[in-house]
Structure 1
Amino acid sequence: MTTNTRSPRSQRYNPANDDFQKEDFPFYWLSQVHGRYTIALEKALKKVNMDIPRWRILFTLKQEGTCRVSEIAVHAIAKLPTVTKILQRMKEDGLVDTRIHSKDGRVTEVMITQKGIQAVDDIRLVTKELFQQSFKGMTEAKIKRLNKLLEQLFDNLPEHL
């Protein structure tokens, strides 16, 4: 009689396990989804002369209102010097405006302009189909559950410094 020495399927997600299978590893699928989404999003954004970093910044400002550059860096998933350079170009393009914080002269605040709001509207038009296709067949409850699981995973990970 042979005994099955395989680990339970619930442990095969762990790369430290001998029975690890990449298809059972959640980060494999997160990477695959992110890669495919990024390529499709870049293609859509090109139609309105936009890119992913500027898209992230504009949508952050549209939702959050006035933000410090450091806050934008967190939401845009980019390093502070990179965000600063992007914001300088966006300001030259008239998409954002900046001002020095009234109580702390070391802090720069960023606001979306009317041109930036129009760019957000243009982006929504060219990305609408991508978002619809991405969530095809998923109910609102499934999307909420997915977001909750991803938020939990995010909270479990160490903060970047």
Structure 2
Amino acid sequence: MDAFRSSNPGTSAFKVERYPFYLLNRLVSRYNGIIETRLRAIGLDIPSWRVLMILGERSPRGTREIAEAAVINLSTMTRIIQRMTAAGLVSAANSAEDARVTLVTLTPDGRKKLGEARRVSAPVYEHLVTGLAPDEFELMIGLLNRVHDNLEPLARG
């Protein structure tokens, strides 16, 4: 347990540079700063890029499902989708099965923009994983998911 002492904010031994959430925030902040510049050059922001990437996996999807996958609250996601609809990147329509669900679909322009976004973001990703062996990458993914899952009971209250 001594290995965890300096990363525990409840101890006097706490060191911010050992705190996993500081390190994750630092990583995400640096990544977003780099990717934002590249996305802006093709007329996208990070939230719209997230929507395109999520819909690139499977389209259509419900607004709530997209919001959850993008880690953006539903009301904000609704506004993002409205902007993207006005820009012609997605279309939105009520589900035939459940009128309370808005299904969002990539348009041909959205697919084209997704291709552009992939072209500008892929080199950043490739640089990000430089030097990681496949087993190290899989370990990192597994550990991040385990830590997330550990927080799940606390998130439910």
TM-score, normalised relative to structure 2: 0.92
CA contact (8 A) 1:47 1:126 kept: no
- Opposite residue 153 of structure 1, the aligned amino acid is V
Return the match for 2:149 from 130, 155, 161: 155
Gap regions ≥5 residues in structure 1: 1-6
Give the number of the structure whose alpha-carbon radius of gyration is greater: 1
Superposition map of 1:62-101 within 5 A: 62-101=56-95
Between the aligned partners of 1:124 and 1:107, the Cα distance in structure 2 is 28
Give RMSD over aligned pairs: 1.6
Gap regions ≥5 residues in structure 2: none
How big is each residue's C-alpha offset from its partner over 1:115-137, in whole Å with a ceiling of 9 and x where there is no partner? 11111110111112211111111
TM-score, normalised relative to structure 1: 0.90
Calculate percent identity across the aligned residue pairs.
31
- Opposite residue 159 of structure 1, the aligned amino acid is A
Report runs of 4+ in structure 1 exceeding 3 Å deviation. 158-161
Between the aligned partners of 2:135 and 2:58, the Cα distance in structure 1 is 25
CA offset at residue 67 of structure 1?
Answer: 0.9
Return the match for 1:22 from 9, 16, 20: 16
Count of aligned positions = 155
Between the aligned partners of 1:50 and 1:78, the Cα distance in structure 2 is 17
- Opposite residue 67 of structure 2, the aligned amino acid is A
Choose between structure 1 and 2: higher helix proportion: 2
Between the aligned partners of 1:131 and 1:103, the Cα distance in structure 2 is 38
